Structure 1
Amino acid sequence: MSACPTWGSPGNAQHDFRTDSHTTPTMHMLDALLNATFDDDVFREDSSTVQLEAAVAKMAGCEDACFALTGTMANQIALRVLFEQPPYALLADKRAHILNYEAGGTAYLTGAMVQAVAPLNNLFLTLEDIKPRATITEDVQKAPTKVISLENTAHGAITPLAEMRRISAWARQHDIKLHLDGARLFQAVATGAGSVRDFCALFDTIHVDFSKNLGAPIGTMVLGSRDIIARARRVRKALGGGLRPTGLICVMMRAAVEENFGWEGRGELAHGMRRSHAMAKRLGTEWQQRGGHLIRPVETNIVWLDIRAAGYIAETFAAVGAKYGVKLDGGRLVVHYQMTEDSVQRMLQVFDECFAISKARL
């Protein structure tokens, strides 16, 4: 029987490269529980939750915010609020989480037609990608584009602030609403790409995640105007997200911001994030030095290895990782702030074995 990890220590999450939400609560987060409130968030009575929502809204330059359990719930709440009267269509990156990893929630909950667009640069959507695919017409045979959803980061790639401004300005001209899936927005901000406020100013609704990026055990938030968030609370309740004692979660979310990002909105305290970015870039370089190829450049904390070119599929690559105590899910490596040099060395052992076997096959 294996020993349980100590509270506040990385434990087995240290070598888990599958996602950056596989972290363990730190002592700072656990200490925050001692001061948690246990009042009713449905009636807006929980002070821990209200204070966190106000603080995050202020950092983002938004009027209001509401807690949500998961990123999927936050995205779907936002879309349900933005779509007001059918017919309508949603335009998004064809690889977007909101289309591929939310159990068909967009179609199920909104009935929107999806306009999936492949970015020509293989990194992020540009205005040139969007214009020819958006439906702006009085033709009754068409479902008009009413919402554009963008991700930042998009699979680890940063969508530049300047490009998002171009898209936002064009969308406003055509009365198209904008949603930002900012599950990893803090990662983009930590690189100096812009402030939280800079990015959020361009969108009608924003989802930010506190487990990915920041290491909280759970929790996300929807941001927007007071009117939008008032409607979002009603949708959240209908989806079963109207929790009562949310303070227990929100105090750890607040501690995660304080510990790993700060409240100024530019990521001055995001040392752990920047260290994970450097670790990710190092892994990408090491893979290439052994003869491997990357699917796209490493910009933040995600490394995309071309494992097929090295002769592997997800299952066989994961099997090699398991030999060294490393958890893998295909060729996507996600580095988080609790990983150490030991994590890197284990991954390098995986690389060495993969390429040793590949060479032996030749």
Structure 2
Amino acid sequence: MIDFRSDTVTRPSKAMRDAMHNAPVGDDVYGDDPSVNELEAYARKRFDFDAALYCSSGTQANLLALMAHCERGDEYICGQNAHNYKFEGGGAAVLGSIQPQPIENEKDGSLCFNKVAAAIKPNDCHFANTRLLSLENTIGGKVLPLEYLAQARDFVDTHNLALHLDGARAFNAAVDLNVDITAITKHFDSVSICLSKGLGAPIGSLLLGSPALIDKARRWRKVLGGGMRQAGMLAAAGQYALEHNVNRLQDDHANARYLAQKLNKLSGFTVDMSNTTNMVYATYSSSINIEELAQALKLQGILFSPSKQLRLVTHLDITREDIDTFLNALAAHI
């Protein structure tokens, strides 16, 4: 299948599978899994944090961060389009009793700090306690500039807030900006990093923070059913992804640009050309029945998610030839 639905559909390579097969394992709940311990030690050094925690998913890592930063009745501020507000099942409210305060994202994906400041609650028993600002980078395929991240750090310091990064695709941002990942993560008190999207691992995310925050998150991970036993085979895949699959993200970005340029020339489609990473967003004319088109292409082994605005995602299992196949199939059906 040629699958444009998400970069979560990536499959482990033979070399990654070999690393998984050969990984030494133990019981991670007891702290005895050497491969998990090696991954967490590697992550501490790689991202320049004092502590790291291996998690089963990005949703879990984000929720653990929120629950470690906030207590019951506290509040976090995020974007209206933030994944940990819009796409994670309301976990902060349901499981953490934490109130989200969404702010409308600007067109570039950022949050206006004047709007954020206006949303911070006063020290009054009528209100939740505002504790945290959560940003996402990339967000909708858009990259938040380093200057903006520095401003965010100054803002939270001024307002006595903590700062979390949903960095599910932070490496895409770093590759696009041509900087080391620490140029992004250094501004934050906690960071989640997904290993199972463009990096190609089959499962897993990392949460990074201070030892105190990670100790608290580790406890909440157990409470939430996230204590894994012989997880070393999965951790080995994550470490392989970090060591081998970061620089190749630029191939995904180049393929996305190629797809965007070609699709924008196809009759009936208009592409947002402002994205610079691995996501292509397109609108289409009313004459196109997108549901029928999706079903027709599925029969040809091509998958995409039909919606009012198309999102097409490139990843390590999408080649330039796959894109041409997709475009030719589209042209034949419109």
User: TM range, normalised to the smaller chain?
Assistant: over 0.9
Q: Deviations over 1:46-95 (max 9, x none)?
A: 111111111111111100101000111111111110003x4322211111
Question: Conserved in 2, the CA contact under 8 Å of 1:20 and 1:212?
Answer: yes
Provide the rounded CA distance (Å) in 2 between the counterparts of 1:217 and 1:192: 26
Which of 89, 110, 116 is matched with 2:96 structurally? 110
C-alpha change, 1:91 and 1:296, in structure 2 (3 Å) is: farther
Q: Deviations over 1:148-206 (max 9, x none)?
A: 11111001100111101101211111111111111111111112353221221211211
Determine the structure 1 residue equivalent to 2:314: 335
Which of 199, 212, 226 is matched with 1:227 structurally? 212
Determine the structure 2 residue equivalent to 1:120: 106
Determine the structure 2 residue equivalent to 1:83: 70
Letter in 2 for 1:181: D
Provide the rounded CA distance (Å) in 1 between the counterparts of 2:283 and 2:232: 43
C-alpha change, 1:136 and 1:68, in structure 2 (3 Å) is: same
Does 1:209 find its partner at 2:194?
yes
Task: Indicate the SS of the match to 1:191.
Answer: helix
Determine the structure 1 residue equivalent to 2:125: 140
| Shift in Å, 1:296 | 5.9
Q: Deviations over 1:131-163 (max 9, x none)?
A: 33x224223322242111111100110011110
Structure with more of its chain in strand, by fraction: 2
Provide the rounded CA distance (Å) in 2 between the counterparts of 1:83 and 1:93: 17
Letter in 1 for 2:196: S
Question: Conserved in 2, the CA contact under 8 Å of 1:90 and 1:145?
Answer: yes
Provide the rounded CA distance (Å) in 2 between the counterparts of 1:283 and 1:327: 15
C-alpha change, 1:181 and 1:317, in structure 2 (3 Å) is: farther
| Shift in Å, 1:319 | 2.0
193-202 or 204-213: which moved more?
Answer: 193-202
C-alpha change, 1:115 and 1:40, in structure 2 (3 Å) is: same
C-alpha change, 1:280 and 1:102, in structure 2 (3 Å) is: same
| Shift in Å, 1:126 | 3.9
Determine the structure 2 residue equivalent to 1:41: 28
| Shift in Å, 1:219 | 1.0
Letter in 2 for 1:104: G
Determine the structure 1 residue equivalent to 2:271: 294
Question: Conserved in 2, the CA contact under 8 Å of 1:314 and 1:329?
Answer: no
Does 1:284 find its partner at 2:260?
yes
Provide the rounded CA distance (Å) in 2 between the counterparts of 1:122 and 1:310: 27
Q: Deviations over 1:275-325 (max 9, x none)?
A: 111111111111211242224622100001113x45446533422432432
Stretches of structure 1 lacking an aligned partner (at least 5 in a row): 1-11, 262-269, 358-362
Question: Conserved in 2, the CA contact under 8 Å of 1:161 and 1:193?
Answer: no
Matches within 5 A, 1:1-362: 12=1, 15-84=2-71, 86-132=72-118, 134-261=119-246, 270=247, 272-291=248-267, 292-295=269-272, 297-307=274-284, 309=285, 311-312=287-288, 315-330=291-306, 331-353=310-332, 357=334
C-alpha change, 1:310 and 1:123, in structure 2 (3 Å) is: farther
Task: Indicate the SS of the match to 2:106.
Answer: coil
Task: Indicate the SS of the match to 1:203.
Answer: coil
Question: Conserved in 1, the CA contact under 8 Å of 2:165 and 2:191?
Answer: yes
Letter in 2 for 1:338: D
Task: Indicate the SS of the match to 1:178.
Answer: strand
Return the TM-score normalized by structure 2.
Answer: 0.93
Task: Indicate the SS of the match to 1:67.
Answer: strand
Task: Indicate the SS of the match to 2:164.
Answer: strand
Stretches of structure 2 lacking an aligned partner (at least 5 in a row): none
Return the TM-score normalized by structure 1.
Answer: 0.86
| Shift in Å, 1:339 | 1.3
C-alpha change, 1:189 and 1:163, in structure 2 (3 Å) is: same
Provide the rounded CA distance (Å) in 1 between the counterparts of 2:240 and 2:162: 32
Question: Conserved in 2, the CA contact under 8 Å of 1:324 and 1:346?
Answer: no
Q: What is the total number of aligned residue pairs between the two structures?
A: 330
Question: Conserved in 2, the CA contact under 8 Å of 1:317 and 1:328?
Answer: no
C-alpha change, 1:94 and 1:317, in structure 2 (3 Å) is: farther
